[in-house]
Structure 1
């Protein structure tokens, strides 16, 4: 019986989503910034771009997407679908495009640091159960669908239902799905592709053509619908939009899509407010008394298992048993933290020392099992000679730390993104104060960096809250306010 609840908290500039199990345990978490106008490119977004520059020395081109930085299109992603021949194809980037050419592309990875978005010509349109692949005909099934009978059923269901130039990848969450649901989804995806093509013909580049679904539906498409009991949202407009999208997909959960009544914070209601507040804490406590120490850098993420109560007498039999138990507990929590923080790239886990390859093998197999339900498909590479356990995970969205703290979180900088996080928290507090005291006419006092962030990247959030307040919000730039702090003040009360 499904028990998971997706709690969606909507505030000016951002949407926070917490997937909570039946025991009020935070299973998955994401933040979508609706305010951020950083020009990084929406992952999955499809653009009509213009080839700005072809660079033969790099076997790549730079595509103007209308963003702050041009997108990067390497040779492997520049080939049309029918010419995907790998490294031995013998072609050059100039064989496939020229400067000034209009081109349909999709964002694979958002811009980071000083690098533009990574893009591809290999377009894909994702649904709940399958992924449409324009220009790449054929039906392929997820390797996670193991049962031969089910694979044959799904293949038979889809073959012959697509236009000649379209292909389809059937996702693992399609197991046991009915033919009616699958056909409805394929029809919707094909209609979306036809609409996108029509808009591309009538649009001048550079132009954004198509993005993902609403954040809750996008989140569920990535994390999976299995086990979901209901969706609860504290915003009426988003509630209606999500309900319509899930109904169209035939994926409305048993408990439906419900609006959360105002008056109590939705994360408090479902018992995960503290877990959400501490989701990026560098130290994660384990029940055994040990802990994980998580540090993100540009090159990799390191996760150190701190022994805690298992530190004493590690060379003794009891010490080895404690070390083994702590390692096993730690790898389960590591898998959970990887998803909560959306860690990607190379992840290195520093295990507590254990004796023998059998013990190490048990830890590795436990980690593989813990990661097996991660929809991104992380890979456990094994252990190094130094006893480090290596993991790689594909990068789909920005790490949570980049969204909340900014890309310089590891160097302690107060960049515009982290200032924006503080500013959005301030706007959230303003709303809470006004709801508690409707007669209040508020002002927000904070550091000048935060004010600047709200007036630039956060300007849409600022407009949003002013609409809700029915008046402009006075922002007071106070150089004496420490970075990361704010204060809601009353400017005057209604007479």
Structure 2
């Protein structure tokens, strides 16, 4: 039995997928009735927003907002892809840089070239993968990225995946013209995303009730509590507000000189997982446990290392005059509290 388990089930009637590592919930995907990130529309340019360098677009799912609109005129059709979830009362965030992602391949229509993930170090394997890429992508100007999951995959499976993504990309690009907005792809649901992105070896449980059988439900219940215990007696609270997500770190009963840095580093190592599971993004402010200024570099190194392993784009903004640490995280998920109401 591998230390990784993928459970595919449903929560409140919505498709859901959970990844456990060593029995601990590491990732959680729950479907919603909102447009999925990755969905592709033929949108219609509606009206520019003066001073912001953007334009509102019409889509079948409501208004979308596009930045960098040089050369775009109202009424013009264009292909756009949803990049995240809209904040309440705001338009869908979209981009014109389309990506067609699958388990082994990413087709990049606007970025020509054939590339292999840098995490694959074996030169002979890289050469073999590039041979497959050249064979499947001949006579097209689109680009291709072969993902790290290709390292343990069969050549035939990789080739089939490339063909499927290339065919989909060509079909979507051929449907760019039209007077009305239209949904061209829906975006992947949780079960498809689990297959696509959780590619490392794992036990996969698909039986109904798998969340209960694997302990996922109990761990989801714990996520409703803002308190996160840490080893050594410390803890931290994660509390979303309208403006930002506040994180408050406490040392607990540890009164040693190193209590602050120990609690802060322990929080840093678990913070990406907690934000991922709770579906939190936007501005995040860390109110850290007291520690000497000389320990700040050590804390920052731990924080950078933790977020380096996280797929969601997160900018580490730095320290405030009051000694807080700020981050800005892409909103690529809905808050868990909203999904499970």
For the criterion TM > 0.5, the same-fold answer is yes
Which residue number corresponds to residue 28 of structure 1?
27
| 1:27-81 C-alpha deviation (Å, 9 max, x unpaired) | 1112212xx3xxx5322111122222245654332211022x3111222xx4xxx
Alpha-carbon distance, 1:334 to partner: 1.6
Alignment of 1:60-75 (within 5 A): 60-67=54-61, 69-75=62-68
Alignment of 1:182-261 (within 5 A): 182-197=158-173, 205-222=180-197, 224-230=198-204, 232-233=205-206, 259-260=207-208
Which residue number corresponds to residue 2 of structure 1?
2
Distance of 1:156 and 1:26 partners within structure 2: 38
Structure 1 residues 141, 396: closer, same or farther in 2, change over 3 A? farther
Structure 1 residues 103, 54: closer, same or farther in 2, change over 3 A? same
Distance of 2:59 and 2:309 partners within structure 1: 34
| Higher relative contact order (Cα pairs below 8 Å, separated by 6+ residues) | 2
Total equivalences in the alignment: 339
1:137 aligns with 2:90: no
1:325 aligns with 2:262: yes
Distance of 1:219 and 1:178 partners within structure 2: 19
Alignment of 1:437-452 (within 5 A): none
Structure 1 residues 330, 109: closer, same or farther in 2, change over 3 A? closer
Structure 1 residues 153, 383: closer, same or farther in 2, change over 3 A? farther
Distance of 2:48 and 2:293 partners within structure 1: 54
* SS, match of residue 7 in structure 1: strand
TM-score scaled by length of structure 2: 0.86
Distance of 1:375 and 1:307 partners within structure 2: 29
Distance of 2:271 and 2:51 partners within structure 1: 41
Distance of 1:161 and 1:215 partners within structure 2: 28
Alignment of 1:11-410 (within 5 A): 11=11, 13-22=13-22, 24-33=23-32, 36=33, 40-55=34-49, 57-67=51-61, 69-75=62-68, 78=69, 93=70, 95=71, 97-142=72-117, 145=119, 147=121, 149=123, 154-155=129-130, 157-159=132-134, 161-162=136-137, 163-197=139-173, 205-222=180-197, 224-230=198-204, 232-233=205-206, 259-260=207-208, 265-310=209-254, 312=255, 319-355=256-292, 357=294, 359-404=295-340
List runs of 5+ in structure 2 lacking aligned partners. Answer: none
Asked if structure 2 preserves the Cα contact closer than 8 Å seen for 1:73 and 1:120, the reply is yes
Distance of 2:245 and 2:281 partners within structure 1: 8
Distance of 1:102 and 1:32 partners within structure 2: 29
Distance of 1:99 and 1:371 partners within structure 2: 40
Structure 1 residues 187, 347: closer, same or farther in 2, change over 3 A? same
List runs of 5+ in structure 1 lacking aligned partners. Answer: 79-92, 234-258, 313-318, 405-420, 422-495
Alpha-carbon distance, 1:291 to partner: 1.3
Which residue number corresponds to residue 474 of structure 1?
none
Distance of 1:157 and 1:26 partners within structure 2: 36
Asked if structure 2 preserves the Cα contact closer than 8 Å seen for 1:137 and 1:164, the reply is no
Structure 1 residues 356, 104: closer, same or farther in 2, change over 3 A? closer
Distance of 1:12 and 1:350 partners within structure 2: 35
Which of the pair has more CA radius of gyration? 1
